[in-house]
Structure 1
């Protein structure tokens, strides 16, 4: 204990020798405390106090005694669990097929497998209604079925799996891609057949990645707000939606905060398990660069079965998003399919301010989030200071916290002096900055761990200070991670809904809120037009950035960041 105390003292003394570094660390801790920890504290505090400020748990007892609320909690866990299972299976199917077979169209499948990441999460829900609803193309138009249960578990599951399986694919693609085929060759040489080689070699080595992926998907689904708001329906309550309705519909801030706390516990538990237990478990192959072919992994019939399954899912996924584009150009979805451009005229008449606001918020928050993520990653990997683990946990905490909880926390925390931010640009920008810094941190940490510290040490030896080393040595080395974080933070800022829906105002609105508003009003074609415009802006930003950076960025690095 004495040795550890002496080490902590030495670390603190080293910090005092560099006041700029100390100031940066103190400011980051302060920012994390104010904009991540304090809103969560306020949610807990409001849910447990009465109007006079006394301790009161009546909101919890009311929630637990309400059968509808209890059902919402269990429904949330059910959907999250099923999304984790089926999303992982679809992601594993794509990852295994692309890494262990020689199927054609690999580039096409890889593109489709990450395509949903750049779409707002709830757009798939709109499309599912248009395909499988009462006037759906497939259900009513092809099969004459007008009572398909699109609202509830089945419709919601379709939307969740399509929305979140790319997260599983990105993780598992990396896991399976690093397993050397020579291990399977060794199994074949020992007399194993293909099934045995898969079951006893590939699958066991994939287990840490599978477990981590399932926990991430569980968190993503539990935190999702847009899909349940559109597809859950009144007969299938989901807790994230109920917390929102409790505040906006019943004007019961305390009850909404209690439901948010209820939702928070399984999310935080899954996050801690994923990060500090499963995330640390992995298998490493030491066979060097693969030199053998992967063609032995599956037989020809199995290869084509896997190809067919991937193609089926790819076609379904593309149909989901193609339907949105079709819906944007028809007069009234399900009633009048005459082609028209009136929907886009309506978008610019009604939503021009929301379009401008969304771009301003995204372009303001994105660079701040990416830079702050790189700075924190640099501190976590390259610096030793008291509280480093606390900084790591706190900065990554927003990944685990459902957007509904964050939104409630922000309106409770910043609606009175000295931090009166409600209704301003600042509250939306700060929400996006601190909600999506985990993207930059994950990308930066991963790349910094691959950069030899000797390069930076050489700069120090030549007389450079911390600022010069970071800006002239470290940052250029991690630039791919920085721009990947930039792209992903921009995409999420443009498509966010769960926290932002609490924070928009008459002065500052978002396209995503407009889409939900139009769909709630039954204007599906107008909602589709808003969606197409939003997708076009996102793709245009990514294309321009890729051209300038010569394709050195990828969405894959941010695949496990929180959605919504």
Structure 2
């Protein structure tokens, strides 16, 4: 009896219960409030569908859903159409400068999409450099990069690197003997690509396409900056919520509920498709990049170079413009100056930089601790409790940042859980948003550690907890640290939830970039963006240094 009680209240079950309690407070409780506010009349307390009906009855609202699907589907298709051939070419053909190209692709992915939107405004906005040049040269009057085409351009150039990263990892596990066998049977290069290679990597294509889809449909900054009259769901959620904070917020909750249901459905569809097209591959003879000549070589290099140049161009633009002289911070007057940096460090609220780093580090500590614990519990201590924990931990993966931000304000704007306006609510939003990725990577790491190593430590007299602390954690740490660095880069680039939760005391770099662009202070926005970009680049090089890797393929 005593032994049974000890097992029930072991340190592992207690740890699982504590983590579950945190999840109930910061994941399920906010989502339940979203559901409640969207279907319960606040005055009568009765069930109502008027908030949901309001969305579908008025064209102004439901058109935004169509707009979101249009942008997301086109962007996802284009991202796959660009990322897949570049990944294939980089694995199949010896591209000169391939190491630098891979780093540039990763950097372009790590930069927030709204920075790309701002940079393209500088290039192709109504007063953009390229717009003026084209108008003067061809005597036309272009209206700039606004609306649907601009949103798709920015998000595609920022999303295809994710496809590239995933597919490169899949191609590394592809046995090239299958490709050679098809070639010996008379298949052309194109036939082998579509009939052998793509079917084998289809699960990876679907998984990466889903990630792009989820990221694009939840993106707030890009359509807000260059969408103008072309509204998407995240923009509608933000504008409706911000205009209804002091009054009826039921409609904002209904919009959040609709978005959550859509993302859940997409997640389920992807899982079903991935299962159907699942293959196990082992690269007994991996693909090796080969020299090719003639027109094919020129075309391959041109395609890779031009695409990567367009992808990295926004980062180059913001760095360059951050050193230009401005008039009142809004108009670039020519010549170079450190005026923008002087503004953000001395004349503006310089704490935003420190806030970004402090909030990011605090969130990463929570992510690492929870990620290790949850991964260990779900792999080594399987039971109903840890299975529940594993399921709930995936919820943030399918919740857009703006929805999470609004749900947090619903849940933590009154006592006894009054957290709104504090650093803690920002930290927890960052940690909850990025935790699923660290859990998945930590789970993969533990799966590679043989249980016999832990058993050997226990047989030598160590307790389970000591074996975990002294054996498992040290073995996991290199991979966990690498994953933490990549999570750190995504945390400091977070905008969707930050723009809803921040106050003057908790403002971050991403919020500062956004607010400066909205105000037209492009010099300051460029300086903030440059600091954010350089932080991401340095973090990436630290990742390479600590892991000894040459890429971040998955």
Q: TM-score normalized by structure 2? A: 0.92
Q: Does residue 1:340 correspond to 2:341, yes or no? A: no
- The 3-state SS of whatever aligns with 1:173 is helix
- Count of equivalent residues: 542
Shift in Å at residue 388 of structure 1?
3.4
- Structure-2 change in CA distance of 1:471 and 1:175 (3 Å): same
2: CA distance between counterparts of 1:420 and 1:555? 40
2: CA distance between counterparts of 1:68 and 1:534? 36
The equivalent of 2:309 in structure 1 is 315
Q: Does residue 1:166 correspond to 2:161, yes or no? A: yes
The equivalent of 1:262 in structure 2 is 258
2: CA distance between counterparts of 1:378 and 1:457? 15
Would you say the 8 A contact 1:212–1:279 is kept in 2?
A: no
Deviations 1:120-163 (A, max 9, x none): 23100101111110111212234435433411111101111122
Would you say the 8 A contact 1:488–1:555 is kept in 2?
A: no
- The 3-state SS of whatever aligns with 1:420 is coil
Q: Does residue 1:98 correspond to 2:81, yes or no? A: no
Q: Does residue 1:33 correspond to 2:24, yes or no? A: yes
1: CA distance between counterparts of 2:225 and 2:132? 20
- The 3-state SS of whatever aligns with 2:106 is helix
Q: Does residue 1:151 correspond to 2:143, yes or no? A: no
Would you say the 8 A contact 2:434–2:487 is kept in 1?
A: yes
- Name whichever of 190-199 and 535-544 sits farther off: 535-544
Shift in Å at residue 444 of structure 1?
0.9
1: CA distance between counterparts of 2:275 and 2:385? 21
Would you say the 8 A contact 1:15–1:385 is kept in 2?
A: no
Q: Does residue 1:231 correspond to 2:231, yes or no? A: no
- Name whichever of 468-477 and 407-416 sits farther off: 468-477
The equivalent of 1:82 in structure 2 is 74
Deviations 1:375-410 (A, max 9, x none): 211222222111433322211221111001100100
- The 3-state SS of whatever aligns with 1:478 is helix
Shift in Å at residue 278 of structure 1?
1.3
Shift in Å at residue 286 of structure 1?
4.6
Q: 1:491 aligns with which of 466, 476, 489?
A: 489
Shift in Å at residue 15 of structure 1?
7.7
- Name whichever of 145-154 and 528-537 sits farther off: 145-154
Would you say the 8 A contact 1:399–1:435 is kept in 2?
A: yes
1: CA distance between counterparts of 2:377 and 2:550? 23
Shift in Å at residue 192 of structure 1?
2.3
Would you say the 8 A contact 1:487–1:555 is kept in 2?
A: no
Would you say the 8 A contact 1:371–1:482 is kept in 2?
A: no
Q: Does residue 1:324 correspond to 2:318, yes or no? A: yes
- Structure-2 change in CA distance of 1:411 and 1:15 (3 Å): farther
Q: Does residue 1:200 correspond to 2:195, yes or no? A: yes
| Runs (5+) with no aligned partner, structure 1 | 1-11, 558-564
- The 3-state SS of whatever aligns with 1:103 is coil
- Structure-2 change in CA distance of 1:108 and 1:14 (3 Å): farther
Shift in Å at residue 460 of structure 1?
2.6
Task: Give runs of aligned pairs for residues 119-198 of structure 1, distance below 5 A.
Answer: 119-144=111-136, 146-198=141-193
Q: 1:528 aligns with which of 500, 523, 526?
A: 526
1: CA distance between counterparts of 2:406 and 2:159? 24
Shift in Å at residue 14 of structure 1?
9.2
Task: Give runs of aligned pairs for residues 502-541 of structure 1, distance below 5 A.
Answer: 502-541=500-539
Q: Does residue 1:56 correspond to 2:48, yes or no? A: yes
Task: Give runs of aligned pairs for residues 246-257 of structure 1, distance below 5 A.
Answer: 246-251=240-245, 252-257=248-253
Would you say the 8 A contact 1:246–1:256 is kept in 2?
A: yes
- Structure-2 change in CA distance of 1:528 and 1:293 (3 Å): closer
- The 3-state SS of whatever aligns with 1:331 is strand
Q: Does residue 1:44 correspond to 2:35, yes or no? A: yes
Task: Give runs of aligned pairs for residues 204-219 of structure 1, distance below 5 A.
Answer: 204-219=199-214
2: CA distance between counterparts of 1:276 and 1:24? 32
Q: 1:271 aligns with which of 267, 277, 291?
A: 267
The equivalent of 1:415 in structure 2 is 413
Shift in Å at residue 465 of structure 1?
2.6
1: CA distance between counterparts of 2:164 and 2:188? 26
- The 3-state SS of whatever aligns with 1:501 is helix
- The 3-state SS of whatever aligns with 1:151 is coil
- Structure-2 change in CA distance of 1:14 and 1:441 (3 Å): farther
Q: TM-score normalized by structure 1? A: 0.90
Q: Does residue 1:382 correspond to 2:380, yes or no? A: yes
Would you say the 8 A contact 1:76–1:222 is kept in 2?
A: yes
Shift in Å at residue 347 of structure 1?
0.7
1: CA distance between counterparts of 2:87 and 2:6? 45
Shift in Å at residue 217 of structure 1?
1.1
Shift in Å at residue 546 of structure 1?
5.6
